[in-house]
């Protein structure tokens, strides 16, 4: 599954819409027996850009799944790509501590991370049980 997710992420990257940065990113995740791909989608109002990882997550949720089994992310970086802080927080919502995160690049450099390594001590909904 690791290799398949990486190949799917490489394919997903080809669809990236990046007229401003030129930096294409691809992601692919497994959920409910299906693979959801995502690419980054930029906007003339730069801050509205959606990263590849979040595109894949939102596709998954909108299709009725809420648990990521594993995810691969790829870009044309020197080392394995490093997901941004926003994506780490969004991934944490639908991953468990041990969920595998495959970080890779176009040169075949791959690192196998976990959600807990990607965002230690992530803020979670359960942290809000004593609100009010
Ligand atoms: O993990 C990452 C890091 C960056 N980007 C995108 C956002 C923007 O389109 C471009 C440059 O930041 O890369 C992603 O999609 N995922
Ligand atoms: Zn991001």
pLDDT in tens, 99-128: 999 999 999 999 999 999 999 999 998 889
State yes or no: 40 annotated in a binding site. yes
Is 41 inside a domain boundary?
Answer: yes
**pLDDT < 50 positions in the chain:** none
Distance in angstroms (rounded) separating the CA atoms of residues 96 and 89: 12
Maximum Cα–Cα distance across the chain: 50
In a domain, 130, yes or no: no
Which CATH number belongs to the domain containing residue 40 in this structure?
3.40.140.10
pLDDT given for residue 92 in this prediction: 98
Has 45 been labeled as part of a binding site? yes
Q: Is residue 126 part of a domain?
A: no
Please give the residue range of the domain that contains residue 114.
Answer: 1-120
Number of domains in the chain: 1
Q: Whose CA is nearest to atom 7 of ligand 1?
A: 51
* Residue written as token pair 């007229």: 19
Helix (H, G, I), strand (E, B) or coil at 36: strand
Tokens matching residue 12: 């997903």
What pLDDT does residue 129 have?
A: 79
Assess whether the C-beta atom of 23 lies below 6 angstroms from ligand 1.
yes
26 domain residue, yes or no:
yes
Instruction: Report pTM.
Output: 0.96
DSSP structure class, residue 17: B
The question of ipTM being above 0.90 is answered as: yes
């Amino acid at each position: 599954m690791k290799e398949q997710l990486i190949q799917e992420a490489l394919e997903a990257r080809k669809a990236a819409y990046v007229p401003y940065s030129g930096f294409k990113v691809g992601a692919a995740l497994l959920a409910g027996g299906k693979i959801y791909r995502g690419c980054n989608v930029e906007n003339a109002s730069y801050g509205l850009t959606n990263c590849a990882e979040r595109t894949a997550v939102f596709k998954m949720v909108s299709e009725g799944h809420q648990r990521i089994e594993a995810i691969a992310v790829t870009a044309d970086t020197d080392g394995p790509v490093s997901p941004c802080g926003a994506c780490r927080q969004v991934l944490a919502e639908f991953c468990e501590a041990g969920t595998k995160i495959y970080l890779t690049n176009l040169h075949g450099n791959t690192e196998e991370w976990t959600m807990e390594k990607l965002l230690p001590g992530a803020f979670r909904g359960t942290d809000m049980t004593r609100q009010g």
